[in-house]
């Protein structure tokens, strides 16, 4: 059967529709084949929007990317019909975005080019650096076994104010004075900053700085064997002499950090090798005179005096300019240490500026964007960005977040913003409904619920069945919480069936509410963020639904759904 769809999305709720589309955009589930010349004869084509065909395989891909909570509650072909409607929604948004020429908008073009550059850069780094690092886990483990950082040390220290005092202490040690006589009592954590003594715990590469020991000093200490004594080491507080009292293997967490550091070092080494390869490939020539002049200006902290038209270097087909330097230098300085002398600036040019210029050149000259997998990703990404931009313009920009609107929403939806409630109950939980009814009769006949709870309740750890429940403990108490919040104080209630979960004991609950806090909303000023969230979510759903309804009306003649194809392909997929 073939028909034109007009403003209909059978069985698909507004919120689910929004979430399905948002999820599809986020994971780029927008792979649509080109329209067939005769879609009616191709049973794989289940719908057409304009010149685009949607295939059953597209639906299967769309479904596979959906998180479990967003999968259709319907079954069989009806569920696939819901996914189809969501995909039609996205194709309509693409039609509208292109009709409005959003893809020609300068701001959109800038955003798209940025996304494209980032993706190509990631792929280039993966292909040329990450994939060429030959460092298996066995090799990292071998290096860890030979590393000085694979152990923890128990240390004692002698701290001196001057070099002469430290030298005198070292001579005393060499003359036979026991280390303990000079180092004093063990240090506590709070004393570690300025006293001498034995550190009161084992320390490793990841924790030694907590005891006032710099990594430079640690680098020396971890070369020492058990029982060895260091030379005097310059520290902020003066001079330290250390003795290794004991050692033990470092825990697994230390290996993980070592492994990450080893991989990062290998990444840096391969990156430097790649830079050298590209410099040779593109015949890069750096202007040492320009770099020296640049270093002099930077050393004077007078970057504004740099002539952006100047040339730092040349390569086949282009040049590295001071404008490139000015664009990159502040960004790198925010995250890395950069020397300001001639050698520091030269290193910056080679390690940062050259790859900043050459990596994009290599990406374009190698036609990385034409690789099938990358090309498909880029097409899907651009489609997703167009849909998202249309949604932003027609949905997000129309959401009124003024104070008056938010307060009105708060007043109309106080149930969303209630204070947490507390209920004190006295309860008997038993295994069967019949047992609960029998106990209820005994309570009504005058027996105390607390005494019966002690002898009959299967809920443990309570004083005669008495305990508190909070309104946020629904996972633990389930149906009991719902019933207790609704019950009157002092009235025997139940039996209430309690379902079993990994966090909840099943049974039948008989209880009385002893006391409970009243219902009252939280003050607006305390929940304004939650108010904004819920209002925004509801408005997004409403405005998105209105947008889709308008598009289905506008493009009704361009929508064709082949229900018989969908049914046929679904049945075939079950075989």
Q: Which helix (H) or strand (E) holds 212?
A: none
The DSSP-derived string for 232-292 is PEEETTEEEEEEEEEEEEPPHHHHHHHHHHHHHHHHHHHHHHHHHHHHHHTT-EE-HHHHH
What are the φ/ψ torsions at residue 523 (nearest 5 degrees)?
-60, 145
Q: Residue 191 above 90 pLDDT? A: no
Contact at 8 Å (CB) between 534 and 11?
Answer: no
Sign of the torsion angle spanned by Cα atoms 323, 324, 327, 328: negative
CB 161 within 8 A of CB 234: no
Helix ranges restricted to H, 283-428:
288-299, 322-333, 342-348, 354-365, 372-394, 403-412
Please calculate the CA angle 401-404-407 and round it to the nearest 5 degrees. Answer: 90
Q: Please, what sign has the CA dihedral across residues 523, 529, 530, 531?
A: positive
CB neighbours (10 Å) of residue 131?
Answer: 10
SS3 content of the chain, % helix, strand, coil (to 5): 55, 15, 25
Task: State the Cα torsion 284-287-290-296 to the nearest 10°.
Answer: 90
Give the domain ranges of the chain: 2-99+555-573, 147-255, 420-516
What the block records as the tokens of 427 is 């309860």
Contact 87, 559 (CB under 8 A): no
According to CATH, what is the number of the domain 147-255?
3.10.50.40
Which of 59, 62, 29, 22 has its CA nearest to residue 44?
59
Cis-peptide, bond into residue 242, ω within 30° of zero: no
Q: Strand pairing partners for 498?
A: 507
Q: Kindly report the length of the chain.
A: 575
- 3-class DSSP state of 469: strand
Bridge partners, residue 423, by sequence:
469, 516
Q: Does the model's pTM come out above 0.85?
A: no
Q: Please, are residues 405 and 535 in contact by the beta-carbon 8 Å criterion?
A: yes
Nearest alpha carbon to residue 381 among 46, 118, 60, 56: 118
Which structure tokens are listed for 295?
């270093």
Q: Report d(CA 456, CA 449) in Å as an integer.
A: 10
Q: Which residues contact 215 (CB under 8 A, 6 or more apart)?
A: 205, 208, 209
Rounded Cα distance between 145 and 493, Å, is 66
Contact residues for 520 (Cβ-Cβ < 8 A; gap 6+) = 418, 419
What tokens were used for 429? Answer: 């939980």
CA-based R_g, the chain, Å:
36
Question: Token pair for residue 255?
Answer: 């290996």
Tokens at 111, concatenated: 């955003």
**Residue 290 pLDDT > 70:** yes
Distance set, CA 338 to CA 304, 320, 335 (Å): 18, 19, 9
Query: Angle formed by the axes of helices 14-26 and 524-554, to 10°?
Result: 90
Closest CA relative to residue 159, chosen from 198, 188, 189: 198
In CATH terms, the fold of domain 420-516 is: Chitinase A; domain 3 (3.10.50)
Specify the residue for token string 């506008």.
Answer: 554
- Reported as a pLDDT band with limits 50, 70 and 90, residue 12 is very low
Asked whether the beta carbons of 275 and 358 are under 8 A apart, the reply is: yes
Distance from the first to the final alpha carbon of the chain = 23
- Please state the rounded mean pLDDT for residues 193-212: 72
- The predicted-structure confidence for 543-569, as pLDDT tens digits, reads as follows 999 999 999 999 999 999 999 999 999
Predicted local distance difference test score (pLDDT) of residue 256? 94
Tell me: the pLDDT tens digits for 312-369? 999 999 999 999 999 999 899 888 888 878 888 999 999 999 999 999 999 999 999 9
Encode pLDDT of 79-117 as tens digits: 999 999 999 999 999 999 999 999 999 999 999 999 999
Of 139-143, 296-300, 347-351, 519-523, the least confident: 296-300
Residue showing tokens 């719908």: 47
User: Taking Cα atoms as reference points, which of 241, 246, 198, 208 lies closest to residue 226?
Assistant: 246
368-407 pLDDT per residue, tens: 999 999 999 999 999 999 999 999 999 999 999 999 999 9
The Cα 353–Cα 359 span in angstroms is 10
Query: 147-255 and 420-516: same fold?
Result: yes
Average pLDDT over the chain, rounded to an integer? 88
């Amino acid at each position: 059967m073939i028909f034109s769809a007009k403003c209909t999305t059978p069985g698909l709720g507004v919120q689910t529709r929004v979430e399905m589309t948002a999820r599809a955009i986020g994971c780029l589930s927008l792979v649509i084949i080109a329209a067939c010349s005769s879609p009616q004869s191709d049973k794989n084509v289940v719908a057409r929007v304009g010149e685009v065909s949607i295939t059953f395989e597209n639906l299967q891909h769309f479904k596979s990317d959906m998180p479990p909570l967003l999968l259709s509650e319907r079954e069989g072909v009806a569920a696939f019909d819901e996914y189809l409607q969501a995909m039609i929604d996205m194709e309509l948004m693409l039609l509208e975005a292109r009709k409005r020429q959003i893809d020609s908008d300068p701001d959109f073009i800038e955003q798209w080019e940025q996304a494209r550059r980032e993706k190509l850069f990631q792929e280039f780094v993966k292909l040329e650096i990450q994939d060429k690092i030959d460092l298996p886990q066995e090799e990292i483990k071998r290096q860890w076994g030979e590393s000085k950082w694979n152990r923890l040390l128990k240390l004692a220290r002698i701290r001196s104010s001057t070099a002469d005092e430290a030298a005198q202490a070292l001579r005393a040690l060499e003359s036979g004075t026991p280390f303990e006589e000079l180092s004093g009592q063990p240090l506590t954590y709070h004393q570690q900053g300025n006293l001498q003594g034995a550190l009161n715990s084992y320390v490793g590469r990841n924790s030694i700085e907590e005891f006032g020991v710099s990594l430079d000093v640690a680098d020396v200490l971890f070369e020492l064997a058990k029982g060895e004594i260091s030379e005097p080491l310059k520290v902020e507080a003066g001079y330290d002499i250390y003795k290794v009292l004991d050692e033990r293997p470092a825990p697994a967490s230390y290996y993980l950090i070592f492994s990450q550091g080893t991989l990062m070092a290998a990444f840096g080494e391969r990156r430097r090798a790649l830079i050298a390869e590209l410099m040779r490939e593109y015949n890069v020539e750096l202007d040492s005179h320009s770099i020296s002049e640049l270093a002099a200006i930077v050393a004077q902290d007078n970057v504004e005096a740099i002539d952006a038209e100047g040339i730092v270097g040349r390569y086949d087909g282009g040049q590295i300019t001071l404008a490139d330097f000015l664009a990159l230098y502040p960004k790198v300085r925010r995250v890395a240490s950069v020397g300001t002398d001639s050698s520091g600036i030269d290193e910056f040019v080679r390690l940062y500026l050259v790859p900043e210029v050459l990596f994009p050149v290599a990406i374009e000259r190698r036609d990385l964007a034409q690789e099938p997998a990358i090309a498909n990703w880029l097409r899907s990404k651009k489609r997703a960005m167009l849909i998202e931009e249309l949604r932003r313009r027609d949905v997000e920009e129309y959401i009124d977040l003024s104070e008056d609107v938010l307060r009105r929403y708060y007043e109309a939806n106080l149930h969303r913003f209630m204070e947490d409630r507390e209920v004190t109950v006295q309860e008997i939980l038993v295994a069967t409904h019949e047992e609960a009814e029998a106990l209820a009769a005994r309570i009504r006949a005058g027996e105390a619920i607390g005494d019966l709870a002690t002898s009959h309740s299967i809920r443990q750890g309570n004083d005669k069945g008495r305990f508190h429940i909070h309104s946020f403990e629904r996972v633990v108490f389930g149906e009991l919480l719902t019933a207790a919040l609704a019950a009157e104080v002092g009235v025997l209630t139940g039996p209430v069936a309690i379902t079993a979960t990994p966090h909840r004991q099943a049974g039948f609950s008989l209880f009385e509410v002893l006391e409970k806090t009243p219902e009252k909303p939280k003050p607006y000023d305390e929940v304004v963020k939650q108010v904004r969230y819920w209002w925004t979510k509801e408005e997004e759903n409403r405005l998105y639904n209105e947008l889709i309804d308008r598009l289905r009306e506008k493009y009704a003649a361009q929508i064709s759904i082949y229900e018989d194809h969908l049914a046929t392909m679904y049945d075939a997929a079950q075989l």
